[in-house]
Structure 1
Amino acid sequence: MNDDNSRELYDRALSVMPGGVNSAVRAAIEPYPFFVQKGDAGHVIDADGNRYIDWVMGLGPLLLGHSLPEQVQAAIQQKASEGPMYGTPTAVEVDLAEFVVRHVPSVEKIRFVNSGTEATVSAVRLARGYTGRNKIVVMQGGYHGAQESTLVEGTHENPAPSSAGIPQSFAEHTLPVPFNDEDAMREVFEEHGDDIAAVLTEPILANYGIVYPEDGYHEFLREITNEHGSLLIFDEVITGFRVGGLGCAQSEFGVTPDLTTFGKIIGGGFPVGAIGGRAEIIDGFAPAGDVFQAGTFSGHPVTMAAGLETLQFAAENDVYNHVNGLGEQLRSGLTEIVADQAPSYTVTGTESMFKVIFTREGPGKESLEEQCSAGCRQRPTCPRYDTCPKNAADVKNAETDRWRRVFWGQMKAQDVFLSQNQFECQFVSYGHTEADVEATLEAYKNAL
């Protein structure tokens, strides 16, 4: 496989960009990333003309794949041709806001911003402003963007910045606890309940190997935050409009958060973020309230048009049946392959998300008949239950180097593009086909 052009581009990039990239995860590919020239349905073509089945899908935004339906493409082109942006409101941002409010259970009002990071930054600020409290509870290993309040590691007794450049005094207001650990959450509230503004969590840990919640966990979070007057924030930047369809993951789990952050799909592949929730809370944003939030590019008309047309197309066509069906085929096929060739590994994911986590321990091959059939659901009767990942630490303890340094390259050599490390999610799009699934399963067989 020729990669001369990608190597030359990366060499040039190293001279003018830190690490040769504009987002750190892109440099996880060794010895250097391939540079994409264009997308085609469920595939990408790199700068050397190599074609890959693409399960990264821009790290999640591309629900429809790379080849947009005509009506979506036309709406984007129309808005772009009318002028880049204006610094005033436009009708299309109202249209998209109304669509989201109509379909997402918890959202009565919404504020559009420019990235998932900006959404979570603003949601944390809003929670603090609304409650008059300082502390935020997060899940260990959970990712909520490149922001000071959540780039924190350690335990709630000893939180510390996970990045240089963040003062320890910032980290002291963030309390990390393990996902799926009710006892740890109770302990945090016993110690700090009067100063906890919010619990911030993904409904499914989707940036750390895909970890499903145990039955009743989100209901517990809803109860304990209500009891202590704290807010519950669901970070649906990844799961929003992917899990649970147009109602998002919160509708799938039947739990209504106070605030929800969005990104990725809500912008149809263009830069976007959003914060939605109860009107009385969202009205805390300026100019209606005292919590300052603003942005030159917020509600950008091209992004709003792309998001609206993407979601309308999904509502009017068989998008979710298609992507969820292919996701089920992938996970079911992977479950069979793993049981036969690598029985300690765990297949995870739901609907149009999937991953194989290289867990080091598992039940004996002979006892896997009753396992979850298409992705871990934290089912206590599953023979994998005692060894499947329950939180980010469990995923981190998997064979992450083997996944990245050996397995990823073997899949690339078979023209399959997977996410750049063990932790990032993989996604099915409307552009993928059953042939893509079959080719990918065959590649997994060979690589495992």
Structure 2
Amino acid sequence: MNHERSRALYDRALSVMPGGVNSSVRATIPYPVFIERGEGGHVIDADGNRYVDWVMGYGPLLYGHDVPESVTAAIQSAAADGPMYGAPTEVEVEHAEFLARHVPSVEQVRFVNSGTEATVSAVRLARGYTGRDKVVIMQGGYHGAQESTLVEGDADDPSPSTAGVPEEFAKHTLPVPFNDPEAAREVFEEHGEDIAAVLVEPILANMGIVMPVDGYHETLRELCDEHGSLLVFDEVITGFRVGGLSCAQGKFGVTPDVTTFGKIVGGGFPVGAIGGRAEIIESFTPSGDVFQAGTFSGHPVTMAAGKAYLEYAAEHDVYEHVNDLGRRLRKGITEICADQAPSYTVVGTDSLFKTIFTREGPARSDLGECCTAGCRQDPDCPRYEYCPKTGADVARAGTDRWERVFRQEMKERGILLTGNQFESQFVSYAHTDEDVEETLEAYKHAL
């Protein structure tokens, strides 16, 4: 493939944007592919190269790049009426009502402008509602570019994970390993009276797609109830992608106190939302004393797009289609890895998929029918001791090989994957059986 124009655009971008990008994850090796347009489940870059697109905007594009006509009509109508008003509109009420009808934890919603803004507001809400300062997070979890969660280390020695975050901020954050119920119990035994919230992705979806072990979220729910803390599910990625309209909390049968949303809930436009029990969400101003506001919050075009997006999913077989393709992808990749890379771990659920370049474990041929379409954290699986259960497990995998060799080879074969081993990959309603077969064929050569 020829990438001369993408390279030239990147050279120009380096002069006017830090690192040549507006989001760090886009700075892929050796330089980013600059996209010109999307068509269904594909994108075409600035050099005219066509790719099967499994990035899907990092999650928002449930329908791919060609949305249903009803969504297009809703977007065009809202935009034609005026860009925005700084005042409430009926569509934001209708969108909030949809979320409250379908998501178990949601009684009220506050719309904002990004997943980061949603999690920032959720942390402030939890602290204001409980009168406490400390927040428990998962090592390897990601909750946006915010000071309270850009923290590494452990509960005994937390520290900022980036320059620009004061040490004083980090001391209020308690990182614990995902899937370690004993570590969660210990942190509550020591700090329970000071913990405002546990902030957790139902699935670690920015760290290789790590599923919860059986009973883990139930343990977090019990600990929060016992100590008067809030359980906050970050469903920015999993919301309306895992578990259908009831989201991951519906799939796992655990109801948090507060849920954060982004991506799909805005129909491909910038969005975030914080939903939960009415008595908690009403702590936001003006009904409560936790300040939260935004000029573009509840933007009418975004609300129209998000509402139409989810209504279409409610009326059609969207999740059946994307989940079936996701299962076929994971199953096919699992079979390929069994022959060519038996130590690797295929992960994902519903319409999420990824391959983690793990370095140890029994060969796929020794596993029988266990986890044939993605790691399920099954204790009876011979690979159970080796499959990734925490962010650290994923970080120890062959990250460099994934980024520098495998992804590059897949790109040259017309398959566009996310820029690193950690980010999820996404199936859309626009993807086809042919896209799956083309991807599996590329896998056979790239591995």
Residues 36-55 of structure 1: per-residue CA shift (max 9 Å, x gap): 00000000000111000000
Cα offset, 1:368, TM superposition: 2.3
- Matched with 2:75 is 76
TM-superposed CA distance for 1:384, in Å, is 1.1
The residue number in structure 2 matching 1:263 is 262
Q: Are the equivalent residues in 1 in contact too, given 2:121–2:292 (CA < 8 A)? A: yes
- In the alignment, is the contact (CA less than 8 A) between 1:153 and 1:161 conserved in 2? yes
Q: Distance in 2 between matches of 1:349 and 1:78?
A: 37
Q: Deviations over 1:158-202 (max 9, x none)?
A: 000001000000000000000000111111011100000000000
Structure 1 residue ranges without an equivalent (≥5): none
Contact 1:370–1:383, Cα closer than 8 Å, also in 2: no
Matched, 1:26 2:30: no
CA distance in 2, matches of 1:421, 1:337: 20
Is the Cα–Cα contact under 8 Å of residues 100 and 106 in structure 2 kept in the other structure? yes
Report the equivalent of 1:189. 188
Give the SS at the match of 2:279. Answer: helix
Return the TM-score normalized by structure 1.
Answer: 0.99
- DSSP-derived class of the 1:206 partner: coil
CA contact (8 A) 1:120 1:235 kept: yes
Q: Distance in 1 between matches of 2:71 and 2:348?
A: 28
Paired letter, 1:124? V
**AA at the equivalent of 1:156:** A
Q: Who is 1:17 aligned against?
A: 17
- The residue aligned with 1:222 is 221
Deviation at 1:364, TM superposition (A): 3.2
Rounded to whole Å, the distance in 1 between the matches of 2:95 and 2:412 is 41
Contact 1:357 1:398 in 2 (8 A): yes
Residue of structure 2 in register with 1:164 after alignment: 163
- Displacement of 1:366 in angstroms is 4.0
Tell me the alpha carbon deviations over residues 204-238 of structure 1, each in whole angstroms, 9 at most, x when there is no partner.
00000000000010111100110010000000000
What TM-score do the two structures reach when normalised by structure 2?
0.99
Name the SS of the counterpart of 2:156 in structure 1: coil
User: d(CA) in 2 for partners of 1:279 and 1:407?
Assistant: 47
Q: CA deviation at 1:440?
A: 0.3
Question: One-letter code of the match for 2:41?
Answer: G
- The alignment partner of 2:142 has SS state of coil
How far apart, in 1, do the equivalents of 2:331 and 2:382 lie?
16
Asked if the contact 1:131/1:230 (under 8 Å) is kept, the reply is yes
- Contact 2:338–2:363 under 8 Å retained in 1: no
**Is 2:337–2:364's contact at 8 Å kept on the other side of the alignment?**
no
Residue 89 and residue 346 in structure 1: after superposition, are their counterparts in 2 closer, same or farther (change >3 A)?
same
| Mapping for residues 105-120 of structure 1, pairs under 5 Å | 105-120=104-119
Runs of 4+ in 1 over 6 A off after TM superposition: none
Q: Counterpart in 2 of 1:141?
A: 140
Shift of 1:82: 1.1
What SS is found at the alignment partner of 2:338? helix
The question of whether the paired residues in 1 share the 8 Å contact of 2:110 and 2:275 is answered with yes
Aligned to 2:362: 363
Name the counterpart of 1:198: 197
1:385 maps to amino acid: Y
Which runs of structure 2 are paired with 1:324-403 in the superposition (5 Å)? 324-403=323-402
SS of the residue aligned with 1:44? strand
Separation in structure 2 between the aligned mates of residue 370 and residue 137 of structure 1, nearest angstrom: 36
Counterpart for residue 298 of structure 2: 299
Name the stretch that deviates more: 332-341 or 420-429: 332-341
2:439 equivalent in structure 1: 440
Contact 2:338 2:365 in 1 (8 A): no
8 Å CA contact 1:371, 1:384 repeated in 2: no
- Measure, in 2, the Cα distance between the counterparts of 1:178 and 1:441: 33
Q: Distance in 1 between matches of 2:48 and 2:90?
A: 41
